[in-house]
């Protein structure tokens, strides 16, 4: 069966520190992978998506970057965090069934102080 995991679940970081959030998918090959951010009381903002290894598309200019070093691994990074980077980050992949829906990880809550 297909599963998706992301970690860490909770992170508190000072302004200016680096960030690395990791997401892995199991049970599927060559998935489309996504990073979303959900700010408090707001909807989902698509940050990055990837259709293959090394292929990253960015939806909005920002302080973050993404990488896909392996087929089923998607990493969200920052060299220097800003206060505005605080939020709930969700990794997702699109399924291969006939409904095309997204499957989401458990989420990573980042607080920048």
Report the residue from 1, 14, 29, 43 that binds other proteins according to the rule CB under 8 A. 43
If binding is defined by CB under 8 A, does position 109 make contact with other proteins? yes
Structure tokens given for 84:
């505005």
DSSP per-residue string spanning 18-73: -EEEEEEEES-SS--EEEEEE-TTS-EEEEEEEEETTEEEESS--S-EEEEEETTE
Query: Which part of the chain contacts other proteins (CB under 8 A), choosing from 13-21, 66-74, 76-84, 105-113?
Result: 105-113
If binding is defined by CB under 8 A, does position 107 make contact with other proteins? yes
If binding is defined by CB under 8 A, does position 95 make contact with other proteins? yes
SS3 assignment, position 101: coil
Of the pair 12, 15, the CB lying nearest other proteins is at 12
SS3 assignment, position 99: coil
Residues lying near other proteins in the complex (CB under 8 A)? 32, 34, 41-44, 46, 49, 51, 90, 92, 94-96, 99-107, 109
């Amino acid at each position: 069966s297909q599963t998706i995991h992301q970690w860490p679940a909770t992170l508190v970081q000072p302004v200016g520190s680096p960030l690395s959030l990791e997401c892995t998918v199991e049970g599927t090959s060559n998935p489309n992978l996504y990073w979303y951010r959900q700010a408090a009381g707001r909807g989902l903002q698509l940050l990055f998506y990837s259709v293959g290894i090394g292929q990253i598309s960015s939806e909005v200019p920002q302080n973050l970057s993404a990488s896909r070093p392996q087929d089923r691994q998607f990493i969200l990074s920052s060299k220097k965090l800003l206060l505005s980077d605080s939020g709930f980050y969700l990794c997702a992949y699109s399924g291969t069934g006939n409904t095309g829906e997204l499957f989401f990880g458990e989420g990573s809550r980042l607080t920048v102080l």
